[in-house]
Structure 1
């Protein structure tokens, strides 16, 4: 048994109980029954967390499934991360796919791949290249930059997994200070400086300082509002 505040290490196929650890390293196929709190958490392979997970530094390569909520300082993910609750933390660098059943609250979200937030995506800065679908019910940010890249390895992989899903962002309402979008569908966008790029379809845009609309974009209503 690993004592509290010690380390938890699994190599191969194995399981463990939840608890508080200094470092957790799971390599292979690992299941943890219960919530975990750790300073450093590294998962490689297939990791199943059957509770909440809280870590100052989290790195995962492969497939991670967190049944509860995830709270992190920093997250670096390569592969697929599924979260049954909310995601909260400082920064997330993603090369892959991430999904949350509830809200996502981060200071920074950067990377490429695809994401689904079944709630509010709240962030300081988001800079993301979509190789697959992006989705959030609502987005509230300081700055948001969305680009599309439908070439390369991720597109081939996601195209095989989700053949009918395009690399585009879908959201109800987007609010922020600086918003620069490509291939985005939204009901309402509100911001200070707003750039509506190629492939966008927007019901209404409300801006304070500046609005730029690509000739190939479609905007139903444009309105300059007071500072």
Structure 2
């Protein structure tokens, strides 16, 4: 049986299209897609509005995307601003800019340089966050979790344009992992095996199994070895 070849979808300049099953999807300029979208890859350079769920092998954005559904892709590479009402799922998620989700974010690897607001759970095997803005999530879980606050002079041009000047900080209810290293973080509970509470942290309760290190400029209200 001959495998059916899926057509590509290309929007150049300004245009719109219906959702469906495609090969490659490319939007250059301003584009709108109505309905669910399933394809090999999505590449956006400009502004895109998605009216359904997106499923792809690879998702690449340079610009801004808004969507009413969820995004699921093996590889997610965001340079710009993404705002989704649904959830974000991927094996490897790389963010440079701003991410806003009303659902959960799940990945094998989540690497962020910028800011994010995740109303649900942020869950990944490896989480590496460089705070260039505010980070918010209801809960954070993973094996290795790193939260750092880079010097502002190290910010690239894109980040300076996207993110206003305010004190970068991560705020969450619970952080749970095996190896946890935090800076500039406010959390109710931090739980892990090897836990390092760095400069600028405000933590109500730390529960640790093997090791706990607390920076002199951090505040931990209660420490419990479990």
Q: Which runs of 5+ in 1 are unaligned?
A: none
User: 2 CA distance for matches of 1:143 and 1:21?
Assistant: 36
1:70 aligned residue: 71
Q: So what's the TM-score if we normalise by structure 1?
A: 0.93
Deviation at 1:155, TM superposition (A): 4.6
Residue 113 of structure 1: how far off its partner (Å): 0.5
Q: Separation in 2 of the partners of 1:116 and 1:134? A: 6
Equivalent position of 2:85 in the other structure: 84
**Counterpart contact for 2:80–2:162, Cα < 8 Å:** no
CA–CA distance in 1 between the matches of 2:29 and 2:151? 31
Match of 2:23, SS state, is strand
> Residue 177 of structure 2 aligns to a residue in which SS?
strand
Identify unmatched segments of 5+ residues in structure 2: none
Cα deviation for residue 5 of structure 1 reads 1.6
Deviations 1:73-103 (A, max 9, x none): 0011100011110111111111111111011
Match in the other structure for 2:163: 158
Counterpart contact for 2:50–2:67, Cα < 8 Å: yes
Q: For residues 170 and 93 of structure 2, what CA distance do their matches in structure 1 show?
A: 18
Structure 1 residue ranges, 4+ long, deviating more than 3 angstroms after superposition: none
Q: 1: CA distance between counterparts of 2:168 and 2:194?
A: 24
Task: Provide TM-score, normalisation by structure 2.
Answer: 0.93
SS in 2 for 1:85: coil
What is the CA distance between 1:111 and its match in structure 2?
A: 3.1
1:47 aligns with 2:41: no
Residues 7, 23 of structure 1: 8 Å contact kept: yes
Do the aligned partners of residues 38 and 29 (structure 1) sit closer, same or farther apart at CA in structure 2, a change above 3 Å counting?
A: same
Structure 2 residue aligned with 1:36: 37
How many pairs were matched up? 219
Q: In 1, distance between residues paired with 2:38 and 2:121? A: 25
| Cα deviation 1:43-62 (Å, max 9, x = unaligned) | 11001001111111010100
